[in-house]
A and B are shown apart, each in its own frame.
Chain A
Amino acid sequence: VTSTTVLEPAGPSKGTLTLVHLYPREMSIYGDRGNTQALASRIRRHGYTAEVVLHDPGDELRTDAHLFMGGGGQDSGQARVEDDLEAIGPTLRSMAADGVPMLVICGMYQLFGNSFHTVTGQVLPGLGILDVTTHGNDKRMIGPVCIETEYGRVVGYENHSGSTVLGPGQRAFGTVLSGHGNNGEDATEGARSHHVIGTYLHGPLLPANPMVSDALIAPAAERATGRPFEPEVLADPLADEARGRQVRRLVGSRR
């Protein structure tokens, strides 16, 4: 049975947003539950009801969902979700093309790409939602990251051995100011198509970068209510300070 929690806003609800966390047990190794927690909290603060669905392997996919989140896992975790992901893949692909916002981190970002090429030459097909290709690597890319995005500067932490290259025309999520990013060479980080964001950043990503949460919530709210997103004006002093301090540590005052 799918685990579902409904969280109401403090005042009257502007509508219900259904948020699906894909494989929270297998694919949440870097605190990725924090992203779901941050989204749910922010949905409520904007005056909407958050219905949080934990999707485990074998569960029926909520095809009426307005927002998806998937995190990073280790190899054994990825192996456990493979079959389910293959089964729900076509539906996720058409929902993504239809504009359903999705945030996929690290391992799930790689699985949302075209393919993953292991060090031994094996080719594992991905869902092809993002036009990226990842090659296994002996070198791990580890450390704090700061990137420039259309939402402003975003901070996080990366830890991946896969080296990802964007296909021609594929937009990046951001430009690396400090850290490795997709591959340590072309200064790109992550990928964005429609309302799907793939990235290597955990930290987890959303608590300290609430503007990214809003970029995901806005299209989700529009889909859920059929009306434009009606945001509240929110103050995030702790998040702003946490992020600001990391930006100053990593890129100083240059640029």
Chain B
Amino acid sequence: VATAVVAGKAVRALARLRGGGSAFPGLVAERIAPGILSQALADVPRGIVVVSGTNGKTTTTKMLVALLRAHGRDVFTNPTGSNFTRGVLSEMLPHLPVSGRLAVDTVVVELDEAHAMRFIAEVPPTHSLLLNVARDQLDRFAEIDHTADLLARLGAASTEGVVANADDPFVARAAGEVGVPVRWFGLDESIADRLPELTEHDSRFDDALAAHEPGPGDARLRPRDERVFDIVFEDLVVGPVTLHQRGLAAMINATAAATTARMLLGDAFDAATAATALAEVRPPFGRGEVVEVEGQPLELVLVKNPAGFGVALNTYGSTPVATMIAINDNDADGRDVSWLYDVSFASLRERGVSFTSGIRAYDIALRLHYDDVATDRVVPDLDAALDAFVAAHPDEPKRVFCTYTAMMALRRTLAARYGLAHFGEEVRT
């Protein structure tokens, strides 16, 4: 194992010098010592949490880690958003003593459903947080029913507890069948009518769910207005909270994180500490991250599936700004771009879209055309489009909706030109 750890560390250092490759060092370590992950996590005493689901993993994981750290926990996580088993291992390597055992008390990792299966095959998590099931990159997971089944298996593999989304029929069904205690999070009755903003509603019309009565340890999201909200437990309230990140989706993520933190911390959970910790969480890259460009804010918004794009358009629709949309179809983006036709772009109609870009720049312009949204210019080259976009709107805020690899490329360019924090690092405040 020591050899694997050292080899992995060396590859990681090399990969950093080359400026990339977040999963490769993990692959090297795994090849040399196949059981390295389970061994590294063997002595973690106070919980191994897997966060999974289609949308909101990165944001929720970040919030959960912040909550646990604010309560004094020593937490390891995979903050780069490389939500793959090898990415977890790669991230772990610099923290790993040559003994191969990670010296932290709690581990929180975000894993997509497929990689969660590989993780649980090696390491049984104590807890899992099941966020939601929406159609995402079907070319990888094939079908939404299959995805739901993977989440159910993650819940069933958890040894101490499961936290589940009460408003998601797939998740509710998955969590309903586990043998360990389940805590539920969801929307307060008062805003139940806003559920469609968070879910891909039409595809599950007949999965109407019996209302889930909140019990001890369950939490409900109760917004006060568009920015301020409370997380309401039976016996205490976390709030009022104002997040850096806007929108209902971020609020429900915070509710999920608080529910999980409380399940892990038990009586040690403190509402005031939790509210402060949530308010301080910076948006992860590409999730409403704002870059100062020529004196004006430019916001990068990652889009990867119909539910997420719909939520993003709902979140920002009330404040129309200069807009660019960049769509790539590499493996990490999802190679199939059909899902763009399951998003309604009507909220962009009035202002129009300034630029489309990426490998599928013409396809997204064509899609927008069918929703009567005008596109000023189509420029497939991302850097050229970014430059022209910035130049065309010198005096106003800008927003770029982009798929994963388009975002990574744009972020690299923005970092080089405007001094953005490096990939995976916190934006300095």
Contact = CB atoms under 8 A, between A and B. Distances in A.
Given A37-B370, A74-B145, 8 more contacts: A29-B144, A34-B370, A142-B139, A159-B336, A203-B336, A203-B338, A239-B366, A241-B362
* Category for how many chain B residues contact A: 20 to 34
Contacts of B367: 34, 207
Q: Which 6 A-B pairs give the minimum distances between C-beta atoms?
A: A34-B341, A31-B341, A31-B338, A242-B362, A238-B366, A74-B143
B235 interface: no
B339 interface: yes
A159 B139 contact: yes
Interface in A39-77: 41, 74-76
A34 B360 CA distance: 16
B205 A25 contact: yes
Query: Could you say which of B139, B145, B360, B362 has the most chain A C-beta atoms within 10 Å of its C-beta?
Result: B362
Residue from A31, A143, A204 with most neighbouring chain B CB atoms (10 Å): A31
A143 B360 CA distance: 15
15 contacts: A31-B341, A34-B370, A37-B370, A74-B143, A143-B139, A157-B139, A159-B336, A161-B142, A202-B336, A202-B338, A207-B341, A208-B366, A239-B366, A242-B362, A242-B365
A31 B335 contact: no
A254 to B, nearest CB: 21
Contacts of A41: 370
Interface string A193-212: 00000000011100110000
Given A31-B338, A208-B363, A238-B378, A140 B206 contact: no
B267 interface: no
A109 interface: no
Contact of B135 (A29, A208, A245): A29
A15 interface: no
B202 interface: yes
A33 interface: yes
Interface in B186-225: 202-203, 205-206
A8 B281 CA distance: 51
Contacts of A31: 338-342
Nearest to B356: A238
A76 B380 CA distance: 38
B366 A37 contact: no
A144 interface: yes
B338 A30 contact: yes
Given A41-B370, A242-B362, A245-B362, A30 B143 contact: no
Interface in B30-85: none
Interface of B: 135, 138-139, 142-145, 202-203, 205-206, 335-342, 360, 362-363, 365-367, 369-370, 378, 380
Interface of A: 25, 28-34, 37-38, 41, 74-76, 80, 140, 142-144, 157, 159, 161, 202-204, 207-208, 238-239, 241-242, 245
From DSSP, what is the main secondary structure of chain B's interface residues? Answer: helix
B183 to A, nearest CB: 28
Contacts of B336: 30, 157, 159, 202-203
A245 B327 CA distance: 14
Nearest to B364: A242
A157 B138 contact: no
Contacts of B139: 142-143, 157, 159
B335 A157 contact: yes
Given A159-B336, A208-B366, A29 B341 contact: no
B362 A29 contact: no
Nearest to A203: B338
B138 A238 contact: no
